[in-house]
Chains A and B, each alone.
Chain A
Amino acid sequence: MRHAFRLSSAALARLVPVLVAISVLVFSIVHMIPGDPAVIAAGLEASPATVDAIRRDLGLDQPLVVQYARFVMNALAGDFGVSIRTGAPVGREILDRLPHTAILAAGGVALAVVLGLVVGAAAALSRRVFVDRLLTAASLVAASTPSYWLALMLMLLFSVTLGWLPAIGVGSAAHYLLPCLALGLQSAGAVARMTRASVRDVLTQDFLRAARAKGVPYRRVLLAHGMRNALLPVLSLVGLRVGGLLAGTVLVESVFAVPGVGRMMADAVVARDFPMVQGGVLVVAAMVVLVNGVTDVVAGLLDPRVRA
């Protein structure tokens, strides 16, 4: 447990420089892309006096360095500013939406891991070439299917044609099923391919033959020795995938009309709603760093070498 504690505090310590770097990056990018939030907020029929007043209100007439300093000071106090588009506090807007994104991401990861492991292991352990080929081909297709297209096809099949699941929105567990599927299937394909390769690799290792020679039952050899070692590369793959998965929520949330952080950020970018973009990116970045920290800890528990 001590190791786990040390690893998690290391992960937390890593969070700080990453967030600082990201805040600088995001701040520069949103201010560099063309587009004036005050103009967009005012609307096309507004007068320039209105636009100027909005710009002053938002502090956008100040030098960039001053704006950044103000942003950091407020963010440290837990205040991410107010949304230019809606006038609501950014912190509250993010907190309202975070649960939906968290559910999607967790569901997507769970699906990717469970489905990926089962299919990958089945392909690796199958004695029939045909089954192996089929499963491998299926995971290749899954890994190469764009989530946007998949989302619309799932909706067409399960909501319009079959009428089994709600097409859009949130409200019940059933609402999350299709979005999680659309989000996780691509990663499931990748995990399955990694699992298959990794299990195949472990099966040929000397320590497995040694365990078998000692008389350990095959099932136990596979689960206790084989899977444990095969899991390591899969685990780091999942850790790396989480970032991409969260990026996928932007598309999936828009298609399924899930009121999450991804869709909020997409809307915010279109409206050049700087405070929302900055707050949203920081929160998502923190999530990615934290999840990677967690996978490090778990990897440490699985593999003594990582603990060193």
Chain B
Amino acid sequence: MRDRLVFAAAADATTLDPHNTTDTESDQVIMMVYEPLLAFDDTMKIVPKLAERHDVGADGVTWTFHLRPGVRFHDGTPLDADAVKANFTRVLDPVANHKRLSLFAMIDRVEVVDPLTVRIVTKYPFGAFEPTIAHVSAAIVSPAVARTHGKAFGSAAEAVGGTGPYRVASWKKDQEIVLERFDGYWGTKGATRQIVYRPIPEAASRVLALESGDVDVISRVPATDIPRLEAHDGIAVHKLPGVGAQQFRFNVAKKPFTDRRVRQAISYAIDRPSIVKNLVASFARPSTSALTSIMRGYANLGEIPYDPAKAKALLAAAGYPNGFRTKIATTPRYPMGVELAEAVAADLKKVGIEAAIEVFDWATMVQFWAGLPPEKNPQEIFIMGAGASTADADWGLRPIFRTAPTNENNYGYYSNTEFDTVIEAAMRETDPAKRQALYTRAQQIVYLEDPGAVWLFDTLYSVAARTAVRDLRPQALGVVTFERATVSGS
């Protein structure tokens, strides 16, 4: 067994402060170093982590967490109820304004009951509270280290402190992060002594580095290389269904997309099986709902059939028998982003819709999604990658499709009164069966009856590794962790 595993990420972590990051490359290091009170297992079920058990009061707002005794942070300070309270105070601090503040907006207050019991009271009953507490940004950081480093917390190896199975031994920016097994860990200790994260931005170089043996595991495997790597003797590609999906969204505030029949027509006009087969077969499955199959609250509504005749009929009914002109905005940041737009435009042309394609870089693209009022947003149809980081229907639907004055999260100004009512009720519903019924209804509305998007496919999360590597943990959230991973050989 080697005592070191080298992983090539696509980018360096931006920060190792879990409360202040939203990018995958940071998250997957954070998951090795810090732990939340709850966690997801490999089937996305909620399991205990730093809290041994928890319960919710009859009022639906009082959550009590019983902490695991004897847990210590990497700096030696103990994990107790005060530390947990300090963490939620930190992430909810309006002045510090950490990037993850809005995720925890439902929390009213946090109370210390005794050294190992902490109570979190929410402002209203919140059905997705457990996945929120299991989210990587609910990870508990050492209050002592956070206090010492203030704003610089998470920006360097010494300014990091969690309870996880690995601690940060060194961090050379853009070069490597070295994680070292934490011997004082409360649970099963890490299998390999050192995990090295080496950022390789260029996709082709990542693949070559894996083939040459410079690295053991790579993420963000280029779609075009997957078949070749799968055929490679010493290399295995691990794929699993995730929270990610690729879609084209409508600007519902703009004519003719104000008419739901136009949106339905576009949805039927697109030949998804052909697109998936010809462009993205190595990493995608056709969508079957507005959520992906592994998410809590998902309802299988089936693939949307390819039916150009029905599309034409719907267009005629909406008053566009000869189609219309529109534009599709896309970005190469999404795998095959430009090719997908071209395929969609070609299908639309067959039902009389002329779509011009506009390609933007990521920074320009997100400008259109930054809380603009409809009159300031020129986009009509635009590409969008979905992926709720709590793997739950609430975060996957509510911010994205609930009526809102600007497009801060509801990028296409989607608005449907019934949907709004259902999604609000579902958010406050803590009974699992009733909750599921509400979310099924919400998906029927937004996926079929009054479509908010063209759902193309669910993305498989893929990681390529040398066959000497065992027990990797690729996760549906689109991250890979290495707490059990080993590398055979010397």
**A264 contact set on B, CB distance < 8 A:** 174
Query: Which of B152, B156, B202, B370 lies in contact with A51, CB distance below 8 A?
Result: B370
**A79 contact set on B, CB distance < 8 A:** none
B97-A35 in contact (CB<8A): no
Q: Per-position contact with A for B245-287: 1 when CB-CB < 8 Å, else 0?
A: 0000000000000000000000000000000000000000000
Interface presence of A256 (CB below 8 A): yes
The 9 closest A-B pairs by CB, nearest first: A43-B22, A35-B363, A259-B174, A48-B371, A159-B212, A47-B102, A259-B175, A257-B200, A53-B97
A44-B205 in contact (CB<8A): no
Docked pose: A155 CA to B208 CA in angstroms: 7
Q: Per-position contact with A for B186-224: 1 when CB-CB < 8 Å, else 0?
A: 000000000000111110110011011111000000000
A167-B371 in contact (CB<8A): no
**B213 contact set on A, CB distance < 8 A:** 163
Interface presence of B151 (CB below 8 A): yes
- Which secondary structure dominates chain B's binding surface? loop
Docked pose: A124 CA to B204 CA in angstroms: 39
Query: Which of B102, B202, B371, B399 lies in contact with A254, CB distance below 8 A?
Result: B202
Q: How large is the interface on B (under 10, 10 to 19, 20 to 34, 35 or more residues)?
A: 35 or more
Assuming the contacts A45-B103, A86-B14, A259-B173, asked whether A254 and B201 have C-beta atoms less than 8 A apart, the reply is yes
Interface presence of B462 (CB below 8 A): no
- Name which of A112-120, A127-135, A265-273, A295-303 contacts chain B: A265-273
Most buried by A among B151, B366, B369: B366
Interface presence of A42 (CB below 8 A): yes
Docked pose: A85 CA to B399 CA in angstroms: 25
Assuming the contacts A34-B363, A48-B406, A48-B408, asked whether A86 and B205 have C-beta atoms less than 8 A apart, the reply is no
Rounded to whole Å, the gap between the CB of A89 and the closest CB of chain B is 10
**B172 contact set on A, CB distance < 8 A:** 96, 259
B174-A43 in contact (CB<8A): no
Docked pose: A166 CA to B198 CA in angstroms: 14
A87-B362 in contact (CB<8A): no
**Residues of A within 8 A of B (CB-CB), count:** 50
Docked pose: A254 CA to B103 CA in angstroms: 34
Q: Per-position contact with A for B393-407: 1 when CB-CB < 8 Å, else 0?
A: 000000100000010
Assuming the contacts A86-B15, A169-B176, A256-B205, asked whether A46 and B363 have C-beta atoms less than 8 A apart, the reply is no
**A267 contact set on B, CB distance < 8 A:** 11, 174, 201
B198-A87 in contact (CB<8A): no
**B175 contact set on A, CB distance < 8 A:** 169-170, 259
A87-B151 in contact (CB<8A): yes
B23-A43 in contact (CB<8A): yes
Rounded to whole Å, the gap between the CB of B175 and the closest CB of chain A is 4
Docked pose: A274 CA to B97 CA in angstroms: 21
**B322 contact set on A, CB distance < 8 A:** none
Docked pose: A33 CA to B367 CA in angstroms: 12
B155-A168 in contact (CB<8A): no
Rounded to whole Å, the gap between the CB of B113 and the closest CB of chain A is 31
Assuming the contacts A35-B367, A86-B14, A87-B155, asked whether A159 and B208 have C-beta atoms less than 8 A apart, the reply is yes
Docked pose: A85 CA to B23 CA in angstroms: 11
